[in-house]
Amino acid sequence: MNGRLLGGIVLLGALIVAPQLTSPFWDFVLATAVAYMIAALSINVLLGQAGMIGLFPAAFLGLGGYFAAVIARETGSWLLALGGATLVCLVVGALVGLAGTRLRGMAFGIVTLAFALAMETFAFRHGFLGIDPAFGATLDRPTLLGIDFLGDVAVYYLALAIAVLTWAAVALHERTRPGRTWRALRDDEVAAMSLGARVGRYRIWAAAVSGAVGGVAGVVFLTVQGQTNVESYTTVASLLVFAAAMTAGTRSVAGAVLAGLLVVALPELLTELGISGEIVPLLFAFGVITSLKGHDGIVGGVRHGAAVLGERLRRAGAPGRPPAVEGGAADA
Amino acid sequence: MPEPLLRIERLTVAFGAVTAVDAVSLDVPPGGAIGLIGPNGAGKTTLLNAISGFVRGDGSVRFDGSELIGIAPDRRAHMGISRTFQQPRMFGDQTLLDHLRVAADHAGGTPLAPEEAVEAVGLQAVLGARCRELSAHDQTLAEIARALVQRPRLLLLDEPAAGLVPSEVDELRVTIAALHERFELATLLIDHNMDVVLGETDHVHVLDFGELIFSGSPDEVRTSQLVIDAYLGEEWEGAPC
């Protein structure tokens, strides 16, 4: 069994047992954190896999939530709300991604930031889809297959199940032609073009899939919260989620899980310890700077450290290695 | 006289006031092994970039009868033009097999099996290795294998011998020599290693300050005073006494 698979199983096991080990207050916090884990996964898709900067996760969080609220209100079906909102976000993501056919790096990032700002200013604060900005969007926790997900523990497991399905879909997509092409574009766009990769359409698809994953996060977030308003979907919130993802690592599910915990659970934990949660953005700023200079966030750094340690241990334990001789050649 | 696979007519590439390639005309016949030499800054790589579509040029570049000017690099690749780069451009942390799969994904026709491509360049042992961990020599060969997967009809090789030690250069020469016969492709080879260029090509073009100053067989290049003055130098060991 490879290390990544083993790590994934351990991580999933920890997430499954987490509510059994914490107080009821933390059930709600953790359920919210799972929604942000999915939101961080949308950055994992766009930045970690396709190499595109997307500063709009909270916009898709809102878009997914708002459309889910409307579809659920009209149809009474939570599953239809989830599917419909995801589809809308896929299309909107593709439209934003059109800019990515011409713009690269931070220039595209600025477009996504402008999109987040436009959504906040002109949609969420102005009665978007007929939803009163003062009251916000609402979505009832569902009953599916005869199981009701009304309690915090139950909705946590619903959120986790959706997160795992989303992670599985993203992981399967990584092994497909578009997934391989994204990584090629991320690592060397010129080389990918020289091989015939149609860069524009793959960049649009990356933004679309990222938008769809962000939309799923939005539906889960609203389901857990029950009611949300624009303050959860601001441009600052987008930057915060992006910074958390960068700090945690954008190339692994473990990074997305950690990012969700950093956004939601860390401030609560600090508050419990009597430390102001206000310092969290500062920690993220520091995390982004260190991520830009080194490995893929905290997860990448830990993996690198483990690899270096493992290599040293392997060398130290290698059979037949001649003993080091101070001041002379060992093989003399 | 067979129709050339690639015909370049009066191709000019300018960057602002600097003319990197100045009204160059040359042909590459089907299956031909063509060399392109010249001093640093002569416009060799710019010419390759213009053929593969990464810089815009004025004039005409026709491949298999179709005009390429105005056509994007990805479409040129689909038409059968593959290339390597002066500094190997690999996909970061991906394995050689991943690289070859990406090449196969975007091939214009039926791709070559990855196993066959690595066998052609002798990299079977590192198919599962991460390319960033390969030596410079193996990265050069990996780029060639990646290009071969797409079954190109024209392979542009940009200084494949750069940075290689003599034994690696010898291996590279064997690999390049075998490509024409095995894959029926034409090559346009740039390098500063004259053993490679003059030993592995049938015809050589010489660029200087963007202009084509000489074209001829490797033997004619060796003895051309014009080429010796512009590029090879009197100290060159192949120069006539």
Q: Which ipTM was obtained for this model?
A: 0.92
Place of tokens 């390597």: B84
pLDDT in tens, B70-106: 999 999 999 999 999 999 999 988 999 999 999 999 9
The mean pLDDT value for A13-39 works out to 94
With pLDDT > 70 as the criterion, what percentage of chain A qualifies? 95
Q: Which residue has the higher pLDDT, A289 or A193?
A: A193
pLDDT computed for residue A224 by the predictor: 97
Burial tier of A271 (Cβ tally within 10 Å: 0-12, 13-18, 19+): exposed
Whether the predicted pLDDT of A282 surpasses 70: yes
Whether the predicted pLDDT of A322 surpasses 60: no
Backbone angles phi, psi at B206, to 5 degrees: -120, 125
- The answer, for A181 touching chain B at a CB cutoff of 8 Å, is yes
Which residues of chain B are within 8 Å of residue A181 when distances are taken between CB atoms?
102, 105-106
Is B12 within 8 Å of B59 (Cβ atoms)?
A: yes
Whether the predicted pLDDT of B193 surpasses 60: yes
Is A193 within 8 Å of A83 (Cβ atoms)?
A: no
Question: Of B83, B89, B105, which is closest to A180 when you measure between CB atoms?
Answer: B105
Question: Of A177, A191, A193, which is closest to B105 when you measure between CB atoms?
Answer: A177
Q: Mean pLDDT for chain B?
A: 93
Question: Of A187, A195, A196, which is closest to B92 when you measure between CB atoms?
Answer: A187
User: Quick one: pLDDT band at residue A328, thresholds 50, 70, 90?
Assistant: very low
User: Quick one: pLDDT band at residue B238, thresholds 50, 70, 90?
Assistant: low
User: Quick one: pLDDT band at residue A100, thresholds 50, 70, 90?
Assistant: confident
Give the gap in angstroms from C-alpha B126 to the nearest C-alpha of chain A: 19
Which residues of chain B are within 8 Å of residue A102 when distances are taken between CB atoms?
none
- The answer, for A311 touching chain B at a CB cutoff of 8 Å, is no
Greatest Cα-to-Cα distance within chain B, rounded to the nearest angstrom: 53
CA angle B34, B49, A200 (to 5 degrees): 135
Alpha-carbon distances, residue A116 vs A124, A276, B111 (angstroms): 10, 27, 42
pLDDT computed for residue B48 by the predictor: 97
Which residues of chain B are within 8 Å of residue A197 when distances are taken between CB atoms?
74, 102, 105-106
Instruction: Tell me which DSSP letter residue A278 carries.
Output: G
The mean pLDDT value for A52-81 works out to 96
Judged by CB atoms closer than 8 Å, whether chains meet at A195 and B93 is answered as no
Whether the predicted pLDDT of A323 surpasses 60: no
State how far the Cα of B103 lies from the Cα of B110, in Å rounded to an integer.
11
With pLDDT > 90 as the criterion, what percentage of chain B qualifies? 85
Whether the predicted pLDDT of B233 surpasses 90: no
Best of A180, A195, A295 to substitute, by most chain B Cβ atoms within 10 angstroms, is A195
The mean pLDDT value for B126-144 works out to 93
Whether the predicted pLDDT of B60 surpasses 60: yes
Q: Which of B139, B128, B54 lies closest to B88 in space, CA to CA? A: B139
The mean pLDDT value for A65-78 works out to 96
Q: Which residue has the higher pLDDT, A112 or A293?
A: A112
pLDDT computed for residue A1 by the predictor: 57
Say which range, A151-160, A320-329, B183-192, B232-241, has the weakest mean pLDDT: A320-329
State how far the Cα of A93 lies from the Cα of A101, in Å rounded to an integer.
13
Give the gap in angstroms from C-alpha A190 to the nearest C-alpha of chain B: 8
With pLDDT > 90 as the criterion, what percentage of chain A qualifies? 70
Which residues of chain A are within 8 Å of residue B54 when distances are taken between CB atoms?
190, 193-194
The mean pLDDT value for A101-106 works out to 88
Give the gap in angstroms from C-alpha A18 to the nearest C-alpha of chain B: 33
Judged by CB atoms closer than 8 Å, whether chains meet at A188 and B146 is answered as no
- The answer, for A190 touching chain B at a CB cutoff of 8 Å, is yes
pLDDT computed for residue B239 by the predictor: 58
Question: Of B74, B85, B92, which is closest to A196 when you measure between CB atoms?
Answer: B74
Q: Mean pLDDT for chain A?
A: 90
- A204 CA to centre of own chain: 19
pLDDT in tens, A218-248: 999 999 999 998 999 999 999 999 999 999 9
In the A/B pair of chains, how many CB contacts fall below 8 A? 69
Whether the predicted pLDDT of A60 surpasses 80: yes
Judged by CB atoms closer than 8 Å, whether chains meet at A183 and B94 is answered as yes
Scanning every residue of chain A, which has its alpha carbon at the shortest distance from the alpha carbon of B88? A191
State how far the Cα of B177 lies from the Cα of B197, in Å rounded to an integer.
11
User: Quick one: pLDDT band at residue B237, thresholds 50, 70, 90?
Assistant: low
The mean pLDDT value for B47-72 works out to 96
Whether the predicted pLDDT of B26 surpasses 50: yes
Scanning every residue of chain A, which has its alpha carbon at the shortest distance from the alpha carbon of B108? A196
The mean pLDDT value for A35-51 works out to 96
- The answer, for A196 touching chain B at a CB cutoff of 8 Å, is yes
Alpha helices in B69-228 (DSSP H): 73-79, 96-105, 114-121, 136-149, 166-183, 194-200, 218-223, 225-227
